[in-house]
Amino acid sequence: MNLKRMNKGLDFLRGKYGAKKGEITIKDGHCYVGATPLLPGRMERKIVELKKMTENGTLEGVSTLRFAAFSPKGADLEAMLAKELDLAAYLGASDIVRVMAVANGNAINVLAKLANDVNVSVEIGAGLPKGEFGYDRHEIIAKRGVACDQTVDTHTPHSSIRCWGANGTDDYTDVDTELFGLTYEEIWNVRAAFALLQGRASAKIWKAAWAKAAKAAALAFESDRKKAAKAIAVKQGLNTNEAIKTSEVR
């Protein structure tokens, strides 16, 4: 991630739409504004659309979430898992109360339970060749309807553009005109920082949500070592899974 480019994008959005001052920093590979960890996954437009579907009646009676994320070799499996578990709680609208995982080398498979009884499976792998783009998949299975960020009959994501050029083949998927030129990961971190500075996302909620997700991910690895599911106590109070207002992003 290129911090200079990201903060330039953030300044552009702040100038155009108005928001408090602030800048993005990186610590241990994770982006922050001040002491608040960003949750860029919640800002990804495809996640925004999936969240809407769970709330606007498109889907009824969610039963199971099937998630996956794959990265190049050397990626931090626990951070990858924490992101997916946060999205599970967010899209499932309920906290994680139990995790059981089986890990082996650069992969971990997780079966989790939400407080509302929804099942979650998460496949995580860091076996892609270095330099490749990672990819993920989020499928929501409900009594009425299945929603997914991959289309039927595919098992890897497709791109907007494939160019068979003089220097080989390249794929491109550009998802944000206002932040054109930033990478996918950079775009959603900038959007997350902007949401926070505009007050559409709450620092208190994001801190709490990320703490829960990080704890659940750590317990997942522990469950593998102990060969036993780990329970997570749910604290009453702050709802960390409410939808973020995303009006400026279409």
Partner 1 sequence: MKPVKIAMMGMTHGHTRKYYQTLIENKKLDWVASCAQDEEAKRVYELYETGVPCYLDPDEMYRKHPDIEAVVIASANDRHFEQMKWCAEKGIHILSMKIPTFDMNEYDEMIEMCDKARIVCQIELEMHYNSVVRRLEKLIKNGAIGKIKSVQATNITLSPVWAFPWQGDPKASFGSVVPLKRGDPRFRGGALCDHPHIFDLIRHLTGSDFDYIFAEVAPNLRDGLKVEDMLMAVGKMKDGTAFLFDPSWSRLEEKLKVPGPGWERFPKRMEVNVTITGDKGMISCDCFGPNVYHNGAPNDRYTVQYTYFDEWVGLIDEFVDCIRNHKTPLINLRWHKQTILAMLGCYESIQTGKIAKVN
- Measured CA to CA, the distance from residue 77 to residue 134 in angstroms comes to 13
The correct pick among 2, 116, 173, 239 for binding partner 1 (CB under 8 A) is 173
Position 145 contacts partner 1 (CB under 8 A): yes
> Residue 226 is which amino acid?
K
- How many residues bind to partner 1 according to rule CB under 8 A? 45
How many residues comprise the chain? 250
Site string for partner 1, 31-50 (x = CB under 8 A): --------------xx--xx
DSSP string, 195-245: HHHHTSS-HHHHHHHHHHHHHHHHHHHHHHHHTS-EE-PPPSS----PPPP
Position 157 contacts partner 1 (CB under 8 A): yes
Look up residue 34 and give its two tokens.
Answer: 């001040």
CB 22 to partner 1: min, Å:
18
Residue 170 or 242 having the CB closest to partner 1: 170
Site string for partner 1, 54-93 (x = CB under 8 A): ---xxxx---------------------------------
- Measured CA to CA, the distance from residue 28 to residue 8 in angstroms comes to 21
Q: Which of 147, 136, 140, 124 is nearest to 220 (CA)?
A: 124
Position 21 contacts partner 1 (CB under 8 A): no
Position 159 contacts partner 1 (CB under 8 A): yes
Please identify, among the stretches 32-40, 84-92, 101-109, 172-180, the one whose residues bind partner 1 according to the rule CB under 8 A.
172-180
- Measured CA to CA, the distance from residue 74 to residue 66 in angstroms comes to 24
Residues in contact with partner 1 by CB under 8 A are 16-18, 45-46, 49-50, 53, 57-60, 142, 144-152, 157-166, 170, 172-178, 180, 247-250
